[in-house]
């Protein structure tokens, strides 16, 4: 990896640690929200003993929410990497 001076960060396609942590927290939050929605959808429709259906609804909702948000997070982190690469190219040309 090459840098133009000792004080600059090395060139990398990785987004910052803060961006990756924010993406991870977003995936966790959307998984929790999906679990709550899955539980509530099944709970509204079920009568009697509904422990297993509520659990299945919660698991399904959590998986759908987390997987959907993970796709969004990956796309956002890739976009951040591309923006950083373009900014680095502009600073090297100038």
| Token pair belonging to 44 | 């509204």
In angstroms, the CA 58 to CA 56 distance is: 5
Residue with tokens 């982190």: 77
Distance of CA 51 to the CA centre of its chain: 30
* 81: pLDDT strictly greater than 80: yes
Q: What is the DSSP string of 45-58?
A: H--S--HHHHHHHH
- The pLDDT tens digits of the residues spanning 20-75 come to 999 999 999 999 999 999 999 999 999 889 999 999 999 999 999 999 999 999 99
pLDDT for 89: 75
pTM above 0.85, yes or no: no
Three-state DSSP at 67 gives helix
Contact partners, residue 91, CB within 8 Å, separation at least 6: none
pLDDT value, residue 10: 65
The band of 85, judged by pLDDT with boundaries at 50, 70 and 90, is: confident
By three-state DSSP, how is residue 89 classified?
helix
């Amino acid at each position: 990896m090459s840098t133009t001076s000792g004080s600059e960060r090395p060139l990398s396609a990785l987004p910052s640690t803060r961006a990756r942590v924010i993406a991870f927290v977003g995936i966790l939050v959307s998984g929790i929200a999906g679990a709550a929605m899955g539980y509530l959808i099944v709970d509204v429709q079920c009568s009697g003993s509904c422990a297993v259906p509520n659990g299945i609804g919660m698991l399904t909702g959590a998986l759908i929410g987390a997987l959907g948000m993970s796709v969004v997070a990956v796309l956002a982190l890739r976009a951040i990497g591309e923006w950083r690469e373009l900014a680095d190219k502009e600073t090297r040309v100038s």
